[in-house]
Amino acid sequence: MYLSKCLISNRRPLNPYEIHRKIWSLFPDRPTATRDFLFRVEKTSPAGQAILLQSAMAPVAGNRNVSIVGHKEVEYSFGQGMALRFHLTANPTKRIRDFGGKKKNQGRCRVPLVDEDEIQAWLVRKFADSAQLHEVVVASKDTLYFRKKEMPGKVVTVTYNGLLTVSDGDLLKKMVIKGIGPAKAFGCGLLSLARI
């Protein structure tokens, strides 16, 4: 896996769908490939948007509006009992009945969690088999608006920080590589871990 710091230079912040399209440009000549990267907007400034990118392949600069500030190859390995700090921006949701709405997804639609206890419980469930959470802080909540092919949409994000102890290193590694929760194409799901 590769971890990269990228900068998308733009006079105004881009919506999450446009950011996703710009990041795809770092992996050229793959028109039929499935997404094998995760990203998170780390900072937005007048210079543009700073992005943390995790990918199976090394990104290749080519788009004049997207620069690769630096990247490194990483090998994830987590031992049982290892204590780690974590940082995650996610889209905690639940499915509810969608009466008279969409026919796909077994008549259910995804809605964001808004209750603080539900937001915390969602994260605990995600880590249930891989790690024990000792401290969880909801650092921020945000609503991201986007347009995809002229259709408006929104994603409600929650940024978590905290401490955990690894209970199953292989499962935790899969979570890091796959990402956590929905809306990964909109900058959610990238789990960052660091030794304490």
Contact (Cβ atoms closer than 8 angstroms) between residue 180 and residue 189: yes
| For the chain, domain boundaries | 2-73, 83-195
Q: In which band, very low, low, confident or very high, does the pLDDT at 1 lie, cut at 50, 70 and 90?
A: very high
- The pLDDT tens digits of the residues spanning 51-94 come to 999 999 999 987 778 999 999 999 999 999 999 999 999 999 99
* Nearest alpha carbon to residue 148 among 110, 186, 111, 180: 186
Please, what sign has the CA dihedral across residues 145, 54, 95, 164?
negative
Dig out the tokens for 5 from the structure. 């710091």
Rounded-to-10 torsion of CA 39, 44, 47, 48: 40
- What percentage of residues in the chain have a pLDDT greater than 70? 94
Across 167-186, average pLDDT: 96
Q: What pTM value is reported for the model?
A: 0.90
In whole angstroms, give the CA distance from residue 74 to residue 177: 11
Fold of 2-73: Alpha-Beta Plaits (3.30.70)
Architecture of domain 83-195: 2-Layer Sandwich (3.30)
Q: In which band, very low, low, confident or very high, does the pLDDT at 183 lie, cut at 50, 70 and 90?
A: very high
Dig out the tokens for 96 from the structure. 């509810």
